[in-house]
Structure 1
């Protein structure tokens, strides 16, 4: 038992050190960038950070935008979501295409009811029975958009991606209007909405996204690496999607991809397109322009959602996108794809902790003694403990920026929840990957969604 503990502790300690140093590098780069921006502001120099004025709509270059909303089994949220979107986007030049399936009459009925009152909303019924993949549904919306362009003899300026549960931001179209042209892909932050009935499962999404979209993705963009689309709150220039469609049989989204949004951003970057992750503010209250949504509140739903993410990014992404990129992109892809290895390290770490606790209990009950830890392992564990404190502090800081310090305090124990979910997801993702490699096909393994103004039926 003692030998097993030592081997597990050594493996976990080495793994934790590598992961922690990688995260520390990103942290220090973000701190350096933030400090430089702060000093520029104090010196009265122009700040490179994007602060969008409330009157941006008056300064924006006008264009027509297509909003794509794939919807499979979304009858409980799609109606309120479309109502809210129509009010938020009032006066904007857009057309929303909502993709439904012929074997989902409840969702179709909800979309029809809203579309009758808001002419800018267009119901698109896919030819195939649902569910297919999300990318397949998006391709059906692409075809509907092309038909609309043929009828109106006007090309859309961008395609904006949203999900059926999104709370859209009233300023996002103005922002996209301003930046599409100089950029080919624009991604704004995604902010999970807290669920008082699921402080641990839904809450851990809040912590992870606060840090990822507050630090990791902005630094990814600043380093010049490809910016992956989050699948929501993302605008892609219609022209570059058209070019991609010509390469893929007249449709831009890969129907066999589990994470078509993530792959889209990286694929466009490989073809020389320019993407950017944009954090900026607007309105009288200077609010952050972002997409807000409820994330899964139960363990089963979280596992299903994250399994698709991990399988698509860490495993299938490795096969489909490869590594033939520059240093910054190689580093970011390595970070994206080490999820399975990180879960293995976490498993070893928790197992070593439990074994170590067991050895302490045994030593306190029985007259036995154990060999002290080797000096190198004791030093390694001490370094990891210091880096763990740093990691906890960073998680708390970014959670506090979005949700306040009360949530930041609960974010610390929620890291354990995040870790346990990561371990469970890694096993499911690896199983799914192996089954698919043996001849299976990816399917839309969706989760039930909640819209803030909607009551589940």
Structure 2
């Protein structure tokens, strides 16, 4: 086979691969565009996340806050002190899940002198899964209810790095009655030392919590819990615990928060994502997200394993057409991350092909790779990309201002690389777990808290 023959084969392979990738990208872009259009034509109140309160007159409800804390000595003390100083609610208990082989974490919680905080030290050494730690906290709050002769109205979940808004419980009290779950927005903190890696979470959460989840809510699909800044109806969780032998959370799950929201919806429970504002700022949970590439990949691979891979096995395809559409959107993430990486590589190969045509007369005589109908498909993808970047920048602008909005476009490329690396790692983790005949294990990230040493 001559060099000219090899070049002809190369052109055919490149053209067919480009066509396949372009078609997948176009389908994904139209899927995202459908969500955008639904959001644009929703009622103004639904677009803004304004939800009608359901509370009736009566005494303020009691809340329990559960905080799993394996190896969180660097942040848990500062987090608890800020939490307890900022909470303005008459009846609240905070249960912190610790492990016997984490003396630094136990000591950090002990420095918080507040009778409303209870350290719950599990029997098994850590780390177990986050869900297993939450089950231990559930048992502790049930014992507290029995000892005090009263029941909590809502069970709130937070992580050890969360900056909790002081009005959070007041919002929960207004919206929880009659609902299974109420979720507040999650807003990543700006990290000036990591404007691209940590910053790309800013754009993703702004678009997700101010658009995508609101569309799900308006369409009546299941609302996944974010695992922080969320309250669950205590009676609903008690019903789940009764069905599972006293365990609310599935200890084998890597994304117990996501699964719990979906299971509550499958059981007929209504959830709500609520945007309320105080002093010009939303009542939301703020936190730092990973600031380096490796940590971001580690965190996102856990999300992908739990939601897109293991979640597919564990939850199946329940519900009607809209619910299945949203499950599909959740589960397409690994595929689209790899397809996006393939698109980047194809762009480089097309540049190489152009250079060959300019330098080698034999290559110039071959048909153009991106010709014919494929050109129109590529133009459609280009327009969809411009629209997608504009939408992302718009939602970042609304929450974080013009500087962060300008960074949204370069951060989209960084986010795509992180997502592709996370997808490959998630597939490896999940495949290894399947070969070993066990569930993947929790792989937590190192957390930061503002002002903590």
In 1, the alpha carbon distance for the partners of 2:213 and 2:234 equals 23
Quick check: 1:278 aligned with 2:274? yes
Question: What displacement does 1:452 show?
Answer: 0.8
Q: Within 5 Å, give how 1:251-290 maps onto structure 2.
A: 251-282=247-278, 285-290=279-284
Question: Mean alpha-carbon deviation: is it higher for 424-433 or for 438-447?
Answer: 438-447
Shift in alpha-carbon separation, 1:145–1:406, aligned structure 2, 3 A = same
Could you tell me which of 403, 406, 413 is aligned with 2:400?
Answer: 403
For 1:416 and 1:260, locate their aligned partners in 2 and report how far apart those are by CA, in whole Å.
29
Aligned pair count reads 440
Whether 1:234 aligns to 2:238 is no
Aligned to 1:44: none
| Consecutive unaligned residues in structure 1, runs of 5 or more | 39-46
Q: Helix, strand or coil for the counterpart of 1:68?
A: strand
The aligned counterpart of 1:341 is 335
Matched-pair contact (CA < 8 Å) for 1:206–1:399: yes
CA positional deviation for 1:304: 1.0
Residue 431 of structure 2 is aligned to residue 445 of structure 1: no
In the alignment, what sits opposite 1:9?
18
Runs (5+) with no aligned partner, structure 2: 1-9
Kept in 2: contact 1:131–1:443 (CA 8 A): no
Q: Find the aligned partners of 2:342 and 2:49 in 1 and give their Cα distance.
A: 43
TM-score, scaled relative to structure 2? 0.94
Q: Give the counterpart of 2:375 among 364, 373, 378.
A: 378
Task: Within 5 Å, give how 1:118-267 maps onto structure 2.
Answer: 118-267=114-263
- The answer to whether the Cα contact below 8 Å between 1:11 and 1:348 also exists between their aligned partners in 2 is no
Change (3 A) 1:37 1:113: closer
In structure 1, C-alpha distance between the alignment counterparts of 2:327 and 2:134, rounded to whole Å:
25
> How has the CA–CA distance of structure 1 residues 37 and 94 changed in structure 2, closer, same or farther, with 3 Å as cutoff?
closer
Structure 1 distance, partners of 2:287, 2:237, is: 26
SS of match in other structure, 2:198: helix
Question: Following TM superposition, where does structure 1 have runs of at least 4 consecutive aligned residues deviating by more than 3 angstroms?
Answer: 34-38, 56-61
Do the aligned partners of 1:66 and 1:159 also contact (CA within 8 Å) in 2? Answer: yes
Aligned pairs for 1:14-29 (under 5 A) are 14-29=23-38
Distance 1:61 1:280 in 2: 22
- SS of the residue corresponding to residue 123 of structure 1 reads strand
- How far off its partner does 1:189 sit? 0.4
How much has 1:60 moved relative to structure 2?
A: 7.5
Aligned to 1:122, what secondary structure does the other structure show? strand
Please provide the CA RMSD for this pair: 1.9
Deviates more, 1:255-264 or 1:373-382: 373-382
Offset at residue 36 of structure 1 (A): 7.7
State yes or no: 1:431 paired with 2:428.
yes
More deviation, 361-370/416-425:
361-370
Secondary structure at 1:62 match in 2 = coil
Measure how far apart 1:6 and its partner are: 1.1
Q: CA deviation at 1:228?
A: 0.7
Task: Render the CA deviation track for 1:272-325: whole Å, top value 9, x for unaligned.
Answer: 11111111213xx13211000000111111111111100000011110001121
> Could you say what secondary structure the match of 1:408 adopts?
helix
Deviation by residue 1:357-400 (Cα, 9 ceiling, x = unmatched): 11112223333314123321011011111111100100110111
Matched, 1:89 2:87: yes
